[in-house]
Structure 1
Amino acid sequence: MAPVPHSLTARGRRLARELKAHRERAGMTLDQAAAALGWNRFKLGRIEAGKTKATAADVERILDLYGTEDFVHAALIQLARDAGRRGWWTAYSGVFTGGYVSLEDEASEIRTYHVQLVPGLLQTEDYARAIISAGIPDDPDEVNKRLHARMARKTLLSRPDAPTLRTVLAESALRQLIGGPQVMRDQLTELNRAAQRSNIDVRALPYTVGAHAGAEGSFVILGYADPLDPDIGYSEGIYGNVYIEGADHVARCNAAFDAIWGAALGEEQSAALIAAIAADL
């Protein structure tokens, strides 16, 4: 399960794959191509692995060497420019230190399973503040900075080209009392309100299901509209974040999510359980 580079975007992943494919079509080894470019083999290797961003000038030199067609040449140079664009999240560089938000921002479909907490994209401001404050209780300025960043990230689901979000919440996440009864009640009410939007589907996984495919923890799968951009899985924890990119590993993530989705309550039953939990607070 190899980690993807922290700064990589979906466009950057695509560019890295294309550059490697064109080298192989040109019949050159990594060593041969690097030598012809006057580079250390590790520089080219890191570009092909997506660990180093290739500039438009780098891409132009590489493609000149491989003798690619003019239309491919132009398309990949533009892709390199697009991959290097600064996104809205760069204003929160001290908060979003990894590459997840940039990958999420380009996704056309987001599928998530959560065991303990409501996902960030669906959190109310008070709920998010309670979670963030618990982690850094003595720094209100940092709490506010992180809160603003999280609320800015939520706007992804309201854009004209918003991705679809399919999320399954374990009953434990729905009952975890974050911020007190009123905060939690408001959060659960907001979940049901959000689920009425055409691009959001929220399902509940009740305790009564017993053992299931999500017993090992929360995870996210990001899907992309372009067939050249394969799905990527993501899981985070106290010891770091894991990006799941290998085809076999991603296939297992997809199978696990499908099994969890199948075990979860239907749309109306999920809304009813969420409303009942809120009413009990």
Structure 2
Amino acid sequence: MREARRAAGVRAGDAAVQVGVSPGTLSKYEKSEHPWPPAVVYALGDMYKLSEEDRNKLVDLARQREPGWWQTSAVPEWFAPYIGVESEAAELDNYNDGLIPGLCQTADYARALIGAITEDDADRADGRAAARVRRQQRLTGDNPLRFSAVFNESALHRVIGGTEVMRNQLIHLLETADLPNVDLRCVPFTAGAHAATEGNFVLLRFPDLIEGVNSGDAVYIEYAIGGLFLEQESETSYYQGLFHKVQEAALEQQETRKLIQRLLDEKYK
């Protein structure tokens, strides 16, 4: 809807007035922080001069949407918008420097990691770990997310949660790598410095729901107590190039599998 508004040349403030909401509320709808009310989608579809077919398609989609499962106390408030956006993406590229990517983590690995970096009690840590695992449902089933991830070799050697947890994590990583819609690659220590040494990022691409309206891409960068979305074309294009460069520095998929299996055989028998 945001891209449809921009394509129509309508300012956010004018759109908000049209449907009787505040600009802040419209922004939350456009960022997937709150589900779209079907009546609002209908009215804005007319304002944006969408075809009847495209408008009705979006209204039907809004009717099907329920409040996200992630809108619970188990998910930090600052992180919930990201899960909402991730749930709508068609493709996701992730570079993670020192840890196993979140969409590949086991519950035990995630729980140990959360326990190390937060002050959450056991119940809350369990809830956050369960939410991280639930996100992985996007990798299977109908119309699965196309997921490409590059991670540093250090993530395979850093023992998080103990030997048994790490052994199961590497087995799970191999299982995830076997999915046809998943591309996992490891940057070996021998690669030395590379283009993405400055930090982690996620690049998200979205399906085009309306003819002639590009849904655009987004980049998500997370820090200790929050996250930042970048949506300008110059920003997303930069990170697209950055991801391609770090993929080139990484081992091929089959070589990555061999490295993981070798670690399992040598360290986690």
Contact 2:74 2:127 in 1 (8 A): no
Alignment of 1:54-203 (within 5 A): 55-62=37-44, 70-78=52-60, 80-81=62-63, 85-90=66-71, 92-97=72-77, 98-136=80-118, 139-203=121-185
Contact 1:89 1:96 in 2 (8 A): no
Normalised by the length of structure 1, the TM-score is 0.78
Query: Cα distance 1:39–1:174, how it changes in 2: closer, same or farther (>3 A)?
Result: same
Report the alpha carbon displacement of residue 225 of structure 1 after superposing the two structures with TM.
3.0
Is 1:16 the counterpart of 2:26? The answer is no
Cα distance in structure 2, aligned partners of 1:48 and 1:99: 9
Alignment correspondent of 1:232: 218
Report the alpha carbon displacement of residue 89 of structure 1 after superposing the two structures with TM.
2.4
Alignment correspondent of 1:204: 186
Paired residue for 2:30, among 50, 58, 61? 50
Cα-Cα RMSD: 3.1
Q: Which deviations, in whole Å up to 9, do the C-alpha atoms of 1:174-218 show, x marking residues without a partner? A: 211211222212212221222122122211101111111111111
Cα distance in structure 2, aligned partners of 1:164 and 1:30: 31
Report the alpha carbon displacement of residue 240 of structure 1 after superposing the two structures with TM.
2.0
AA paired with 1:277? L
Contact 1:177 1:184 in 2 (8 A): yes
Task: Tell me the matched-pair count.
Answer: 259
Cα distance in structure 2, aligned partners of 1:213 and 1:159: 34
Cα distance in structure 1, aligned partners of 2:140 and 2:177: 13
Is 1:219 the counterpart of 2:201? The answer is yes
Report the alpha carbon displacement of residue 29 of structure 1 after superposing the two structures with TM.
7.0
Report the alpha carbon displacement of residue 32 of structure 1 after superposing the two structures with TM.
7.3
AA paired with 1:164? R
Cα distance in structure 2, aligned partners of 1:185 and 1:67: 55
Normalised by the length of structure 2, the TM-score is 0.81
Contact 1:30 1:44 in 2 (8 A): no
Cα distance in structure 2, aligned partners of 1:263 and 1:33: 45
Query: Cα distance 1:252–1:129, how it changes in 2: closer, same or farther (>3 A)?
Result: same
Cα distance in structure 1, aligned partners of 2:15 and 2:108: 54
Cα distance in structure 1, aligned partners of 2:180 and 2:16: 49
Contact 2:102 2:132 in 1 (8 A): yes
Q: Which deviations, in whole Å up to 9, do the C-alpha atoms of 1:159-188 show, x marking residues without a partner? A: 222112111110121211211222212212
Give 1 or 2 for the bigger CA radius of gyration: 1
Bigger mean CA offset, 163-172 vs 271-280:
271-280
